[in-house]
Structure formats: C-alpha cells, structure tokens
Structure 1
C-alpha cells in the first residue's frame, strides 16, 4: 500500500501529483485526496524544483564538451595500427536520470552483468507476457537507431552520434545498455571503416566515403533490444558498397531460413555461403539468446539447439573485405581487421513463431533512407554507368 505523502497523514495514497508524473518522481508523489494534496502543496512543490535542477544538471554535463576539444588524436606509443583510423579524445561519461530503470551492471564498478552470468545455461521459450515486453522494447530500440541514422553525415563526430543515442534512449525511459557493460564508457558502439565491432564513440569526424556501424541496445522494464546497421557516409566506393550489401544479404538470408525445428548451427553455413560466394571473410556471426547465450555461427560449427516458438535471439554477421583475422586496440574494446581493410555488420532481434520468424527490430516506413537503402544506391550507380556508356 502506498502511504499518503501529506504531513502526518497515514491514509492510503490513491491519487498522484500530475507534475510528479511528468518529472518521473515516484517517492512522495501520492496523496489520499485533493484536499490533502492542496494542504501540502507549499512543501510538496519543492520536490518538483529539485527534480528539475537535477535534470538540468544532467543535460548540462551531457552537452558541456565542445566537439573541438575531442579532435585531438590519442597517442599509444609502440602500437601498430592496421589501418588509417586513429582514436580521439572521448567526452565525459553521459549521465542517466535516476528515474530510469537500470540493469544490474549499471552501477557496479566492474560493470559485471550478474544476471546474465546466472542465466547462460540455455535458451528458453518466452511467455506471451514476456514476448509483449520484448516487442515493446524492440520498437523503442528501432526508434533510437533510426534517430542515430538520421544524424549521420560527413562532418559529424561519432561522439555526437552517441549523444543522439543517449538522449533518444532517455526520452523513451530506456537505459542505453552498452553504458558501463564491463565498463564500456559510452551509450552505443560506432565502428568506422576497418573497425569490426565495439568502436568507442569519440572526437573522430566522419568523412565522405566512410562507413560506420552503429550498434545500439536499450533496456526497458527488464528487457534488452539489440540491433545495428552499417551506414554509408556520403559517396562510398563500389567495393565498399558491395561489402555492405553482401553483409546485409547474409543477415537477410539467415533470417528467412529461421523457423521452428531449424538447428541454430545451420545459420553459420548459410551466412558463410553468402559471403563466400563474393570471396569476403566472415569474421563472426553470432547467435545471441535473449538471456545472454552467445554462440559463434560459422560453417561446420557444432553449436547445439533447435529453434522453438517463443525463442528470442539476434543474428549478427560481421563480414570483412580481406582476412577474417582481427586485432584489438589498447582500449581493450575496439576490434579492427588485421589488414586494415573494411568491415561491415548488421543485426536484428528475432522471435520464432509457430509458423516462422518475426523481425522485432525491423525497419519501418519512417526509418532513414528507406528499407532497401543500399539497393537505391546500386540502381543509381548502375544508371550513371549506363548513361556514361551511351
């Protein structure tokens, strides 16, 4: 039972202050009736002022860093980079308002996900109620990634993309899942050009011709949504465009094969076949269970498990232009190709239904550049070639 916040009142709090609802104030926001609410208004409104000051402080700290201050490249003496990309200074860690529900790793120093570690044994079938919650958080995750995609252009820093991700997550009452996960310092991953995955947003300014993968995950009411896309920055060369298109097709073909009774390990053969036909290297293709079960999906792998209705997981192919081998920067997160050639990645969260599969993080008609953005670019280039030869 909620107790009335009125001074000296011990009745049940059955009504809630409308301003507290807007400001996400829980404690001290309930009253027994309108009379008690008005009688305690002078003291109660101080809660509103405190909440507004905290929100303003968070906003100021999140936007206090001048992008110019992040443009300085970091120096790691003795480290041999595989490609032209270099790390830049990072902005201070962004803050999450107190009213946002957090995963267990958000506030411990090591960022250790205890609940994930306890539930790694097997993939389970979700109930109807759990599936409804997964669908909702995936809808929110799609909106956050779309906000990031709409911001991408030559001249924007990857730190600015992180800011967009962070604020879009908070606006939807979501915790940006990467933040403090095993001490990861940012709210999303931005992997540019030769970076395969886990790129840390910083002061790097995206250039015309770059590609950048934005990998986001949001936590809402106990559930995570996970998805990512590789975006073209301005005009990219045809080899890069073909890499991105093939990577998307790897994911697309894998999704289309999903249905009850299919073995998870067979996804590796499908992905390897698609990228192998174009002589690309499959660095990793993960099947990731909603409870944190990670299985590497490569050709002829021996992963166990059969798809069943109610299973929720992601498929995440990472495809390289050159060799599959990688190296990790001294930041202990950024994984790049060992030959400095480019890499692309796509990911969706999926639900196995009674008859097939549902893409919970699917693009919508409002997603940036349309559902088949790379196809539009290919058709444009083909038309330009034809026009030039006529």
Structure 2
C-alpha cells in the first residue's frame, strides 16, 4: 500500500491542460481530453460498500486499528536486528501467499468485495491483521485498483468485467511487523496495450531492484544495495517506462516498512534529487505506477481512490526489499 499523499484533486499539472468536473457520487470525468483512452470502457464509479469486516479478538492489533488515526511518520529508517529480519520475512511471505491466492480469484463476474472477504479471512486465519483496515479510516482489508485507478481502490460490489486489469495490494501485520506487496492481474483477455502496460510495470519494478532482474534477480548487478542513493530507483523506473512508451505517476511513493506501516525512507519512483542512501538491514517498498496516458490524477470524494485524469489505464507492482551487505533480498517473492 503506497504512502499517503497530501490532499488535493489534481497533482503535477503538465502541458496538456485538462478541465475536471465532479460528477455525482464522487467519480469524475475529464472534459476536453485529447483522445478517448476509455475505448468504449465504462469509467469507474463507486458501488455499494459492505460493512468493515470483523477481526477476531485474539489477533494482535497495530496502534491505529481501533482509532483510525494515522501514526506519526518515523523520520529515521528502521534498522532491523536479526529477530526483526526474521519477522519481516515471515510477514512478507504471508503477504505474498495471500496475494497469489487472491489473484487466483480474479475472473469476470467476481466482485472486488468478494476478493476483500477472501483476503480478510486468509489473513486473520493466519493469525495476522490486514494492515489497510482502518488505516486512516480505510474501510477495507485490501486495496483493489481496476483499470484507470492508480491506487487505493476500495473493494465494492462492482463485478469485474472481461478485459479489465486489476491491481491487488496486500499488506499484513504479523507478529508486530508489516509485509507489503501488490501485483497486476488480467480479467479474461485485456487489450494489448493493457498487457504491455502491466508487463512494463513489472519490468520497471524488477529493474529498480536488480539490473536485468526479469523477475528472477539473478546474474546481474544489484540496483538496490548498501549505501546506494535512493535516487537510483526513480532513475531506473523512468528509463524502463520511457522505453516502453508509458509515464510514471509522481504522486505516490514507496516507503520504509517494518514495525510501522509507512516510515522513512521515502522512495520516489521518478527522477529526483532527494537525499538519502540505502542502509543495511533496512526494509522498504518499491511500488511504481505506470500510466498509458497522462500521469495526472483525480481523487474521489472518499479521499482514497485515485484515478487517472484522462481515463487512461494505470498499473502498479510492488515488492518489499531488505538491504543486505551484498545487495538486497526481495522478501515478497511468491
């Protein structure tokens, strides 16, 4: 789950001036966009939400679980001891397992609410807490972002449709540590551009961890490693996206993760001059969002759902990474 961003409707305006009008129920349409990126798709709209799901009383809770208040952002990266690293491995392993099983549910006619219900039961069944639930009053246990949704989509009663693409973002709180991961899934057979976008997003994530990673992370130089500038991540992601003909959203960042859900360092996915270097035994997420059109975004009235301003598709991929003395360890591999 990406780090929260400052409130606002439009972010990082570019040269193409677009006028956005709110249209009932919190969804938006873009007036005057240069081309129709919906291609006959119905734009996303909010659907019915089911009540937040119950967490069994024996499950240990993170500090925000009852209040919904965002915890104070930790300014120093957490450096784990040996026990903390093992707990991070366990939480990330569970997150990856839940994500894989959630992805197996994706099919036309399945609602994102049904995916949320299954994810919730898998997590609490493993003795863990679904980290998104009541984090800043987020009402569900997983984020499900469909088509033009950049991130933080709230599961609801909308059935998935043939040709959709969906990001499922799973975070679990197990034994005091959060593990965070996400991936894209196809609903039936999406358009070729949708498949290329999803593939490029995964390639950008892999390349930002290890050059030529290709999902295997073997046989090439690590991009992530001790004392490497964090700027190397954004530089790499932008290069991969540009070669594939896509843009990178500048509005959402990766983040330190461990005993706190969102902590330092802030991991920018675009070119930047922010200070900071990777520290041994620290853990953080890399979770780029690529777009087929403009990366500009519109935020729904729910204060969570972020969609592309031009209706173009978006895709995201995420791993939690541990920095080691010789490079990095990807904790959320399936």
TM-score for the superposition, normalised by structure 1: 0.70
Match of 1:286 in 2: 253
Match of 2:229 in 1: 263
1:274 CA drift (Å): 0.5
- 5+ unaligned residues in a row in structure 1: which ranges? 1-74, 364-390
Q: RMSD of aligned C-alpha atoms?
A: 1.6
Q: 2:300 is matched with which residue: 317, 324, 329?
A: 329
> What is the CA–CA distance in structure 2 between the aligned matches of 1:133 and 1:267, rounded to whole Å?
25
1:170 CA drift (Å): 0.7
> Which one has the largest radius of gyration?
1
Higher helix share: 1
Match of 1:166 in 2: 120
Is 2:53 aligned against 1:94?
yes
Is 2:333 aligned against 1:362?
yes
Match of 2:19 in 1: none
> Does structure 2 retain, via aligned residues, the 8 Å contact 1:178–1:184?
yes
> Does structure 1 retain, via aligned residues, the 8 Å contact 2:267–2:286?
no
> What is the CA–CA distance in structure 2 between the aligned matches of 1:159 and 1:139, rounded to whole Å?
24
**82-91 vs 150-159, which moves further:** 82-91
How many residues in Structure 1 have an aligned counterpart in Structure 2? 284
1:221 CA drift (Å): 1.4
Match of 1:348 in 2: 319
> Does structure 2 retain, via aligned residues, the 8 Å contact 1:286–1:294?
no
1:141 CA drift (Å): 1.0
> What is the CA–CA distance in structure 2 between the aligned matches of 1:194 and 1:226, rounded to whole Å?
22
> What is the CA–CA distance in structure 2 between the aligned matches of 1:77 and 1:247, rounded to whole Å?
30
Match of 1:120 in 2: 74
> What is the CA–CA distance in structure 1 between the aligned matches of 2:188 and 2:300, rounded to whole Å?
27
1:310-342: CA deviation from partner (whole Å, max 9, x where unpaired) = 011110100000001000111111100000010
Match of 1:208 in 2: 162
Instruction: Say which structure, 1 or 2, has more relative contact order (CA 8 Å, 6+ apart).
Output: 2
Match of 1:146 in 2: 100
- Point out 4+ residue stretches in structure 1 off by more than 6 angstroms: none
TM-score for the superposition, normalised by structure 2: 0.82
Q: 1:320 is matched with which residue: 278, 284, 291?
A: 291
> What is the CA–CA distance in structure 1 between the aligned matches of 2:271 and 2:179, rounded to whole Å?
29
Give the alignment of 1:52-131 within 5 angstroms: 76=24, 80-82=28-30, 84-108=43-67, 111-114=68-71, 117=72, 120-131=74-85
